[in-house]
Amino acid sequence: MSETVIDQKSASALAGELRRYFSGEVLVGGQPGYNNARTIWNAMVDKKPTVIAGCVTTDDVVASVKLARHHGLQVSVRCGGHGVTGKALADGGLTIDLTRMRGVRVSPDNKTASVQGGCLLGDVDAATAQHGMIVPAGIVSETGVGGLALGGGIGWFSRKHGLTCDNFLSLKLVTASGEVVTASETEHPDLFWALHGGGGNFGAVTEFEFKAHKFGPEMRIGIALHHPEDAVQALAEYAQIYPELPDHVGWHAALKQSMPGLPFVPEPLRGKRLLLMIVMYLADSKEEEGEKLVERLISVGKPAAKAMTVMPFGARVQKLLDPEFPNGNRYYTKEAHINELPEEALETLVSRWGEMTMSGEIEIIGLGGAMARVSPDVTAFANRHHNWWFNFALHWDDAKLDASNIAQIRAANDALKPWLGTGVYANMLNFDEADRLIDAYGGQERYDRLARVKAQYDPDNFFRSNNAAIAPIGAAAPHK
């Protein structure tokens, strides 16, 4: 599909044309608010959409799609803008900006939550907490629900309630033709399957209906801090224990470049390079079993400090990691799904960690539980059956360091390749990882099935500004 190059005069004319059918705000370069609207989480991305369509209704999205098609504009869809590659913005094209569509309706009786397409995780957490409920989502409250959920959605509750996409009941979306469709188990079931991990390749989702689960609102959480020289032992002991833990226990390890001044961190340890272990009890925070189990797990190894507390999930736990991933820094990530953490791998990991000079963390997130019990053919999300998700999540603020820091992260990742699996999380594919696309979807057969759905709903590849873009069957597609 060819794309049109637009000058400033033509951009203003396009904006004027769209405003005739539009309830929200339409922005072009030079207008107040434009630069803010094109600013996203990763400062390494500097894109300038010709038109930013700030939608407030599904009809606004329809109008935006039809305008972009008519004029041959590249299109992107923005929710939280929290993706590392910046695919939320269409450089020189039209960005469908959903950030004004942040309504949440919770039905405690039906155990559902209806979530507009521009919501952040924090919006959903705040609304569901009022009813003592949660929707399983990610680990940073400023992440957009749309991108996270459509790519799968790994988070604190994955072991207990599955991925975010496993909790879909229905999705309302605008397709490439401008048609509004609802996908569910009974309506467009092929599309419903594809949306469970197939990303934003099939349309602009303006509303999700999720299963909501009773919880809290408080969570029992344990924290342990380990010095670098004790990190291998602690991680090795966890690797032995973790596969036997019940589904209602979650685990997150982070090799921190600099330990932030969180309330549970003793003053002498703040700013130090430390291994942080977070243990979450995903059941009743008042249960005696939870207190005993969390205490046991935070005592593993030789912790330099440990703490256990009960705190509100949405207001506190979901925001614990927000300061570690600030907007406006320069981000580069490398990740993989893994099954084993042998001591040799952990020694290599800790050694490479000690050499790194940028900010952020190396994450090891425990998987398994409910998300792993879903049959591989039930959803498009393929990489479910691993024990851990491993991710270099690092950042800096000086553009002059881009090349050297990226090279350093790649080298560390390469050193760990003997132990890394082929599985990859589509949401975290980086700009230099096109060769991992087939792995992100679990192999050629599953990719081809997604491509057939793509051909049905988007035969011209209109929605192609995606982290893990799928070409419609019959178009040029990757093979491995």
CATH number, domain containing residue 241: 3.40.462.20
Structural domains in the chain (count): 3
- Pair 368, 288 in one domain: yes
Has residue 345 been placed in a domain?
Answer: yes
Residue 396 covered by a domain: yes
Pairing of strands 274-281, 180-184: unpaired
- Beta-carbon contacts of residue 332 (< 8 Å; ≥ 6 apart): 44, 84, 392, 394, 395, 402, 405, 406, 409, 430
Q: Do 329 and 248 lie in a common domain?
A: yes
- Claim to verify: residue 160 and residue 230 sit in the same structural domain: no
Query: Is the same domain home to 17 and 157?
Result: no
∠ CA(322), CA(138), CA(457), 5° rounding?
A: 125
For residue 233, how far is the Cα from the chain centroid? 30
Tell me: do 201 and 279 sit in the same domain.
Answer: no
Q: Are 301 and 370 in the same domain?
A: yes
According to DSSP, the residues that pair with 238 across neighbouring strands are none
3-state secondary structure (DSSP) of residue 319: helix
Residue 453 lies in a domain: no
Same domain, 270 and 389: yes
Do 315 and 367 reside in the same domain of the chain?
yes
Same domain for 232 and 131: no
pLDDT of residue 398: 97
Residue 160 per-residue DSSP state: H
Residue found under tokens 């992107």: 76
Interatomic CA distance for residues 45 and 229, integer angstroms: 36
Domain assignment present for residue 462? The answer is no
Omega of the bond leading into 189 within 30 degrees of 0 (cis)? no
Closest CA to 381 of 203, 153, 144: 153
- Per the domain annotation, does 403 fall within a domain? yes
CA distances from 230 to 217, 225, 255, 364 (A): 34, 10, 12, 16
Residue 83: give the domain boundaries: 8-97
Angle between helices 58-71 and 8-19 (to 10 degrees): 140
- Peptide bond just before 217 cis, omega within 30 deg: yes
Distance between CA 20 and CA 10 in Å, rounded? 16
168 lies in the same domain as 32: no
Q: Which pLDDT score, from 0 to 100, does residue 356 have?
A: 93
Residue 305 maps to a domain: yes
Give pTM, 2 decimals: 0.95
Say what angle helices 343-355 and 402-415 make with each other, to 10 degrees: 170
Q: What tens digit of pLDDT does each residue of 332-346 get?
A: 999 988 888 999 999
Here the CATH number for the domain that contains residue 81 is: 3.30.43.10
> Smallest Cα–Cα separation from 116: which of 103, 100, 106?
103
- On whether residue 176 sits in a domain, the answer given is yes
Residue at 467 is within a domain:
no
Scanning 202-327, the segments in alpha helix (DSSP H) are 228-241, 288-298
CATH number at residue 137: 3.30.465.10
d(CA 184, CA 171): 7
- Final residue in a domain of this structure, among 214, 246, 277: 214
- Residue 5 pLDDT: 56
What pLDDT does 479 receive? Answer: 47
Q: Are 475 and 461 in contact (CB under 8 A)?
A: yes
Dist. CA 208–CA 340, nearest whole Å: 35
Domain boundary among 79, 97, 115: 97
Q: Compute the distance between CA of residue 285 and CA of residue 407 in angstroms, rounded to an integer.
A: 44
Contact 238, 310 (CB under 8 A): no
Quote the DSSP letter at residue 455.
H
Under-70 pLDDT residues of the chain? 1-6, 475-480
